Amino acid sequence: MIHLLDQTPEQLQAWLAGHGVPGYRVRQVWQWIYARGADNFDQMTDLPGELRQRLAAELAIWETRVAAHHKADDGAEKLLLELADGERIECVLLRDDRGHCTICVSTQVGCAMGCAFCASGMDGLVRNLSTGEILEQMLRLRQCLAEGERISHIVVMGMGEPLANLDGLLPALAVASSRDGLGIGARRITISTVGLPAGIHRLAGLNLQYHLAVSLHAADDALRDRL
């Protein structure tokens, strides 16, 4: 099965063309997934039934399973997602008293950075997440929203070092920030990093409008002052 969320519109168009389906169907599928929050192909009622069956047979919208869903008293919700290979990641929805709904997503299974205070890096890096796996966290968290709520901000601050997986992350953020995708303005997206120079240079060269939060840690005040 092909993970639909890993496909760019161009790739999806090529797939449809290969099955003799006109290109305008891409926009319909895209809108069902990102704008209308379709959970399955049967809900895409303006697509011919035969196409829906073919899509369902060859493309998967979801590749994760919600292994646990915790709701805190302050409105925060945490999802533990099991990936297709059995690995597990977390993503979080945070609500504040201004009505903001911020989602926090992971970019890797494990982490190579080994920050002393962080459990995510204890066993090192297992693998990068795909673009589809990053987008799927966003869609899963959107399903947690109540009527009238919408995602206001995205922080890339979950498991993993985002700048070590820009190949997976940047296409996901492009969809998240596009009007045809999740429609979250780029200035409402923050990438948190320990400060990988190569990744910072690459991001700077792309001239994107995402915020970058560099997190510097030290074990004592003297070093913290120097940082």
Residues that bind ligand SF4 (CB under 6 A): 111, 113-115, 118, 120-121, 159-161, 194
Least distance CB 223 / ligand SF4 (angstroms): 16
Residue 17 neighbours by CB under 8 Å, 6+ apart: 23
What is d(CA 62, CA 33) in angstroms, rounded to the nearest whole number?
Answer: 11
- Residue ranges in the chain assigned as alpha helix (H): 9-18, 25-30, 49-58, 131-142, 166-177, 197-206, 221-226
Least distance CB 157 / ligand SF4 (angstroms): 8
For ligand SF4, the closer of residues 35 and 227 by Cβ is 227
CA nearest to 139, candidates 185, 56, 189, 81? 81
Instruction: Indicate if the alpha-carbon torsion angle 30, 33, 34, 38 is positive or negative.
Output: positive
For ligand SF4, the closer of residues 184 and 194 by Cβ is 194
**Vertex 159, ends 156 and 165: CA angle to 5°?**
65
For ligand SF4, the closer of residues 12 and 164 by Cβ is 164
Residue keyed to tokens 């496909």: 7
Least distance CB 216 / ligand SF4 (angstroms): 11
For ligand SF4, the closer of residues 12 and 81 by Cβ is 81
For ligand SF4, the closer of residues 33 and 194 by Cβ is 194
Least distance CB 2 / ligand SF4 (angstroms): 29
What is d(CA 52, CA 76) in angstroms, rounded to the nearest whole number?
Answer: 35
What is d(CA 130, CA 105) in angstroms, rounded to the nearest whole number?
Answer: 12
